[in-house]
Amino acid sequence: MRKGLSIFFISMALSACATSSGSVKERDFVDPLRSLDAGGEFDALDPGATVYMAFDTQEARPLLDLLKTSDITGGQTEMLLDKTTRIAAAFYPKASGRRFLAVCRGDYPNALAALSLTASADWKKVRAWNNAPYWRSDDGAVSLALNDSWALISDAEPFARTMRAVAPQEEFDAFRQGAALAGWITDGGASLNNLLYALEIPIELHLQSAFFAVNKSGAQYELSVRLEISSEEQAKGVATLFSLARLFIGQNSDSESGTPALAKPLLANPLEQSGQVVNMRSGAMTGEEVALLFNTFMLCL
């Protein structure tokens, strides 16, 4: 059920095991190694992804623990997360040749990891297009590059190949202030439409941009979504459709379970529309509900 996210966290576990054993603006080319050392959060990610995300691992840790799959032992994942302060990740279309790329920032035992990887028959040291070394496990279909302060994890080469660098819209940084995790979507609403279908919400979106953020609210979480529609008139129509969906779900969702039941907390509050922008704020959600919603969304990419 959570294939895309599972690949990502399986890769994180493999690297930990080694240490123990909307729219996207584009800037001029930024060397990935230099940008990593300089701390550019999204610079080491290739453009062209469907979703870009940023995790504050301290704030998001309870969610990250819930998002672990049965293929990973808790100790392996915890070792990496304990050493990681933030993660930037991108999830790409199936036809792109790469499904995900994650940039982890933290304090890693690079020398110990290199010794462990060298001793393992499952890992082979190779060089990327820019002559930078990385480790590849064909059995696990995962690549890993790391130094003392960062780790790159991907199902393909872990270094961005393009001559452009990813930068989020200017509004994104303000939108995600204090969020445990946040991201933006670039596919015009196709993945969100798939999610709405899974939630049994009969609405189709055509978007210019979409931001989302998950914030802690005591022991629970709130999801915020910012949708930018192509015109104010269409934004009013979208807000009206969601308002009708709220009424219908409020009357009929008591007996729902599983993924469709998430529609009720998701649409707990009235939507706010201002110009071309529609803002949505969920009701209080448990970590398990957020994890289920997130895993469902990963399947919709």
Domain boundaries, the chain: 3-166, 187-299
Quick check: 199 pLDDT over 70?
yes
Residue 164 is predicted with a pLDDT of: 62
What is the mean predicted confidence (pLDDT) over 269-286? 96
Quick check: 210 pLDDT over 70?
yes
pLDDT per residue as tens digits for the range 39-82: 667 888 888 899 999 999 989 988 988 875 433 333 445 667 78
Residues 12, 16, 21: CA angle, nearest 5 degrees: 145
Quick check: 19 pLDDT over 80?
no
Residue 74 is predicted with a pLDDT of: 37
The residues with which 222 forms a beta bridge, in sequence order, are 215
Residue 289 is predicted with a pLDDT of: 94
Residue 22 is predicted with a pLDDT of: 42
pLDDT per residue as tens digits for the range 74-121: 344 566 778 899 999 999 998 888 899 999 899 988 787 787 888 888
Q: Strand, coil or helix: what is 231?
A: coil
Radius of gyration of the chain (CA): 20
What is the mean predicted confidence (pLDDT) over 174-199? 94
What's the farthest any 2 CA atoms get from each other in the chain? 62
Decide which of 274 and 258 is more confident. 274
Residue 204 is predicted with a pLDDT of: 93
Percent of the chain scored above 90 by pLDDT? 46
Q: How much is the mean pLDDT over the chain?
A: 82
pTM of the full structure:
0.84
Residue 166 is predicted with a pLDDT of: 75
Are 101 and 45 in contact, with CB atoms under 8 Å apart? yes
Please give the Cα distance from 258 to 252 (Å, whole number): 15
pLDDT band at 252; cut points 50, 70, 90 = low
Q: Which two tokens stand for residue 190?
A: 């196709």
Count other C-beta atoms under 10 Å from residue 58's C-beta.
11
> E strands of the chain, at which residues?
25-27, 51-56, 84-91, 100-106, 124-127, 133-137, 142-146, 150-154, 165-167, 181-185, 207-217, 220-229, 272-274, 277-281
pLDDT per residue as tens digits for the range 120-173: 888 899 999 888 899 998 877 889 898 888 888 899 999 887 756 576 767 898
Produce one character per residue of 87-100: b if its CB has 16 or more CB atoms within 10 Å, e if not.
bbbbbbbeeeebbb
pLDDT band at 277; cut points 50, 70, 90 = very high
Quick check: 16 pLDDT over 70?
no
DSSP H/E element including 252: helix 232-252
Residue 177 is predicted with a pLDDT of: 92
The 8 Å CB, 24+ separation contacts for 132-141 are: 132/32, 132/33, 132/159, 134/158, 134/159, 135/18, 137/14, 140/10, 140/11, 140/14, 141/7
Please give the Cα distance from 127 to 295 (Å, whole number): 33
Decide which of 33 and 84 is more confident. 84
What is the mean predicted confidence (pLDDT) over 20-25? 45
